[in-house]
Structure 1
């Protein structure tokens, strides 16, 4: 391990000694607009799905709403607006990494991200990368990664957007987004507020969703400044505050609530030369929570973590076809809370990424990473991916990797129950993809296989009477994914059709049974029609039945229907109004057992752009 780390450091410092020259402005802007350059440059052998800005605005309440109807990911949601956990290719929530402007933001406490605490209104694009990504993005990137990006556009502009919405269950939503650029400076700001009683009826009963109200505020501020022809400074900040009651189930009442505060800040200094690019990031992440068993009382349990991260990315361009990236980072993580006694963690990692394009049709990447972590040993991980364009309309993609997930603070230090003898989860995966494109039609087909060992599970301990995390389970995942999209234009009429389907087989090797809450079949589609200023759209989701403890949860079909019209006025100001009916068939369904989801409901939006 020591020799590997020294080798990486040698590569880094020897590369820094090379000479530097200036890029032209086109190359420079291409580098500085994106905060997560690795996603663009080192994903040729992976399936990448990019969700457009217009799509994010249509599904503005939470990231769960967007991905449920526009990806192959399944979500366990404890009632609408409650805790939402993803299952990516059958893996669990802590095996999906969420990447904020190039930084892994999975919780240091439970290893997950609650997708109902992320508003889509404040991001310029959201991307889904399928397949293992631990080499580039660290712990938890086993099933795939979700990328949240804020773009800084330095071209001269000043754009504003205000959105007002009201819907069923007294749901109110207001958001503002502003973007500015003058050639040297660039800035964007976003604010999104949601408040809802969330008291929908339970279909087939005389009850409604009790203790389910929630409100949250999401603030974003991002700033960029071109210091010189070679240097760009970028600042990113995001703050989320949520106050959420935990709704009751069909069998048990609830009077609890949960308060959340997340802060994320990053400074990025990028130095650009003709043959190299150097980026230095300084990051602070903080997550805080308060849990009230009885919301009417002032008694609560709480926890807080702070992560301080220094990350350096050095890319050396040896030729137009060959480059090497060397990435080093250091994390210092602390926590404090009622259920653990001030744990700390120091982590250093070194990564090397080789990119080679031998011909116009072939490109491949080779990656290796070693972590050195203060509280246990971490495995060496590696990956490789390739992209080959066989025909003008047909490309084949292949990637394979070894991935890992380190035990969280809860796993190690929770009192009572933490286990200091845990090993990291390790995973091997391979993914073969085919992409077909003809004019405005695209088809993606992927098959994959994932084998994971040392899965961490919390199980009851008869000797102590507490639950303990242990390395007990091995799992296998394999399946097929398909995505199809086509756009047809006839005079002023435009039709857009997008669909996705996934077939997912999983197995708990120890118990010889399917994993819980993984649908065998999942499919979604959307159809949009546009004529001049008028748009109509329909979304449909099919979710197959899933295994749960001692039973199965029925599959379901849910559809959403909407219309929109844009009113153009003189000057820059435009208005857009849309009306949406969610769950148009009034379907009863559950994503988690005994927690019904909303009946038929509506939303009205008014959007002003100027």
Structure 2
């Protein structure tokens, strides 16, 4: 691995020297403002959905709640506010990548991100990229990826945002945001705190959700400085500190507790001109947990992983129509814990992305990636994508890719049960999409097929001990429909966005639908505004899902909200919002024997100045 590190350093220095030799006048491109430009520029044939601030502010603050009603992703949640796992296009939680400002932050322990540990109030946008993304984002991006982005604005401004909320189950929320800048510097920060007794009723019983309390604090700081016409320095930081009791089930109470901490920091140096863009990133990630089987006892189990990542991006504009981007990355992962000793992993990857605008309507892209790791062999992965625009209102998109997921520290080293002979999961997939757009309506229609082999699953051996094995072959296929409507009549504004997904995800061994993958899922968001008043309604339908030993019924859940915008003074704008969640008081579970909340209420005040 020392040789790999040496190669990595030489390539970076070589690339930087080439760039410096090509100094030219500055162009104010997305390269300056964003850390993850490749999300869209090298994904012409992929479906990318963007959720902006206007959507984020109307949803509860967790990433689970936001995406549950605004995407085709299904969530398996162990009671409200507890561990939340996604299923994207029929894949499992560790096959969905979460990307923070261009960096994959999936856990090195279990390969997942708990979506209830991501507070969306501190982000400018959340983007959903459907389909395989292992070439660009590494291990885990098989079903798709979710991107958390912070924007830096290099213009003279200072904006403050304060949000305060109170709701049922003694739920308190507070958030402060600052964005400030000039032509040479930019900074934004966000602080968010959530605290809840979370003692909702179990409808149809005389029980309540006991031991479900949680609180968490999130802090984001992002800053940038334009040194001159060619150089920009940026800092990104995010902290999360959570303290949750784990609620029990209808049949078994719980006294357990879970404390988790995540720190993420990234320094970025960017150089740009008309032909070349160079970005050097240095990243530190820390994930840590303490699990108490009995919250009243002093004993706990502990786990911790630190990740150090060096990443260099070089984008070369070969001609007016051809771009080439190379990405070189070295990562070192170090863990220690009560159940997996002291594992370490070194990883090196080299990636090349090609984008060619053949003509005004036709764009295609090619990409390839090779990973070298210290503890097993990773496959060569690739991606091909393209878009053809027949007119301003109709386009088709196509992509195909090979993707992978590496075994996690838990898979390899958990004691007892870890398996050092595991192979990485690999997947082939193809996705065909059509997009229609007009003045009033946008429509996206996609069909996909995913074939995954060497899927890692924990199964009992002949002694009854659960161990991970490469046993399953899974095929997933289906269709997705998204519809966006917008219309204005005088002072009356109407908006609607909706989605439907049909998902088949079968184990080849028995041709049965995987557990916790609904065949049908649909959502709709409707908004109406008149002058200072806005009314919105959300509805979610989840079809029945297979569980071990049976099926879990489908359900319909609706939320409604009303907001009023008014000026407190010349420079202070306020929004008062009232939400009713689970409007129809529906009894439902998305994990067996773990009921979700009854009808509940939330009041929120937002101040902008």
Shorter-chain TM-score tier: over 0.9
Cα offsets for 1:79-116 (capped at 9, x unmatched):
00000000000000000000000000000000000000
Deviation at 1:14, TM superposition (A): 6.8
Q: Which runs of 5+ in 2 are unaligned?
A: none
Aligned to 1:477: 476
Aligned to 1:189: 189
- Does the CA-based 8 Å contact 2:108-2:408 persist in structure 1? yes
Matched, 1:501 2:500: yes
Cα offsets for 1:159-187 (capped at 9, x unmatched):
00000000000000000011001111100
1:30 and 1:493 map into 2 onto residues whose CA distance is: 34
Deviation at 1:565, TM superposition (A): 0.2
1:120 and 1:230 map into 2 onto residues whose CA distance is: 32
1:257 and 1:317 map into 2 onto residues whose CA distance is: 53
Aligned to 1:348: 348
Deviation at 1:16, TM superposition (A): 4.8
2:184 and 2:18 map into 1 onto residues whose CA distance is: 29
- Does the CA-based 8 Å contact 1:69-1:541 persist in structure 2? yes
Deviation at 1:273, TM superposition (A): 1.9
Deviation at 1:15, TM superposition (A): 8.5
Aligned to 2:444: 444
Aligned to 1:408: 408
1:194-209 residue pairs with structure 2 within 5 A?
A: 194-209=194-209
Matched, 1:382 2:378: no
Cα offsets for 1:524-560 (capped at 9, x unmatched):
0011001111000000000000011110000000000
Aligned to 1:112: 112
1:284 and 1:7 map into 2 onto residues whose CA distance is: 18
Aligned to 1:47: 47
Q: Which stretch of structure 1 is more off in the superposition, 36-45 or 250-259?
A: 36-45
In structure 2, the residue corresponding to 1:451 is in which secondary structure?
Answer: strand
1:429 and 1:452 map into 2 onto residues whose CA distance is: 8
Aligned to 2:33: 33
**What number of residue pairs does the alignment pair up?**
605
Deviation at 1:28, TM superposition (A): 2.7
In structure 2, the residue corresponding to 1:28 is in which secondary structure?
Answer: coil
What RMSD in Å do the two structures reach over aligned CA positions?
1.7
- Does the CA-based 8 Å contact 2:587-2:596 persist in structure 1? yes
Deviation at 1:9, TM superposition (A): 8.4
Deviation at 1:480, TM superposition (A): 0.3
1:459 and 1:128 map into 2 onto residues whose CA distance is: 32
2:28 and 2:607 map into 1 onto residues whose CA distance is: 33
In structure 2, do the counterparts of structure 1 residues 102 and 62 end up closer, same or farther at CA, with 3 Å as the change threshold? same
Cα offsets for 1:448-469 (capped at 9, x unmatched):
0000000000011223x42100
Aligned to 1:528: 527
Q: Which runs of 5+ in 1 are unaligned?
A: none
2:17 and 2:46 map into 1 onto residues whose CA distance is: 30
Deviation at 1:8, TM superposition (A): 13
Deviation at 1:568, TM superposition (A): 1.4
Deviation at 1:392, TM superposition (A): 2.1
1:502 and 1:525 map into 2 onto residues whose CA distance is: 12
Aligned to 1:153: 153
Matched, 1:22 2:24: yes
Q: TM-score, normalised by structure 2?
A: 0.97
Deviation at 1:22, TM superposition (A): 2.6
Aligned to 2:398: 398
In structure 2, do the counterparts of structure 1 residues 16 and 511 end up closer, same or farther at CA, with 3 Å as the change threshold? farther
- Does the CA-based 8 Å contact 1:434-1:445 persist in structure 2? yes
Deviation at 1:31, TM superposition (A): 1.7
- Does the CA-based 8 Å contact 1:60-1:119 persist in structure 2? no
Matched, 1:124 2:124: yes
1:494 and 1:16 map into 2 onto residues whose CA distance is: 53
- Does the CA-based 8 Å contact 1:499-1:526 persist in structure 2? yes
Deviation at 1:319, TM superposition (A): 1.5
Cα offsets for 1:362-420 (capped at 9, x unmatched):
11110000000000000000001001001221000000000000000000000110000
- Does the CA-based 8 Å contact 2:435-2:445 persist in structure 1? yes
- Does the CA-based 8 Å contact 1:11-1:326 persist in structure 2? no
Aligned to 1:63: 63
In structure 1, the residue corresponding to 2:512 is in which secondary structure?
Answer: coil
Show structure 1 runs of 4+ deviating over 2 A. 5-19, 21-24, 27-30
2:590 and 2:11 map into 1 onto residues whose CA distance is: 50
1:50 and 1:8 map into 2 onto residues whose CA distance is: 35
- Does the CA-based 8 Å contact 1:12-1:326 persist in structure 2? no
Matched, 1:283 2:279: no
Deviation at 1:13, TM superposition (A): 4.0
Q: TM-score, normalised by structure 1?
A: 0.97
In structure 1, the residue corresponding to 2:67 is in which secondary structure?
Answer: helix
- Does the CA-based 8 Å contact 2:446-2:481 persist in structure 1? yes
Cα offsets for 1:138-168 (capped at 9, x unmatched):
0000000000000011111100000000000
1:261 and 1:60 map into 2 onto residues whose CA distance is: 21
Deviation at 1:12, TM superposition (A): 9.2
2:383 and 2:142 map into 1 onto residues whose CA distance is: 12
In structure 2, do the counterparts of structure 1 residues 327 and 537 end up closer, same or farther at CA, with 3 Å as the change threshold? same
In structure 2, do the counterparts of structure 1 residues 158 and 296 end up closer, same or farther at CA, with 3 Å as the change threshold? same
1:392 and 1:53 map into 2 onto residues whose CA distance is: 27
2:323 and 2:29 map into 1 onto residues whose CA distance is: 19
- Does the CA-based 8 Å contact 1:8-1:352 persist in structure 2? no
Deviation at 1:60, TM superposition (A): 3.4
- Does the CA-based 8 Å contact 2:8-2:330 persist in structure 1? no
Aligned to 1:174: 174
1:8-19 residue pairs with structure 2 within 5 A?
A: 13=14, 16-17=17-18, 19=21
Deviation at 1:29, TM superposition (A): 4.5
- Does the CA-based 8 Å contact 2:79-2:591 persist in structure 1? yes
- Does the CA-based 8 Å contact 2:42-2:354 persist in structure 1? no
- Does the CA-based 8 Å contact 1:333-1:344 persist in structure 2? yes
Deviation at 1:11, TM superposition (A): 11
Aligned to 2:491: 492
Aligned to 2:271: 271
1:319-334 residue pairs with structure 2 within 5 A?
A: 319-334=319-334
Matched, 1:94 2:94: yes
1:61 and 1:49 map into 2 onto residues whose CA distance is: 19
1:440 and 1:23 map into 2 onto residues whose CA distance is: 40
2:112 and 2:567 map into 1 onto residues whose CA distance is: 43
1:444 and 1:8 map into 2 onto residues whose CA distance is: 43
Aligned to 2:455: 455
2:9 and 2:357 map into 1 onto residues whose CA distance is: 23
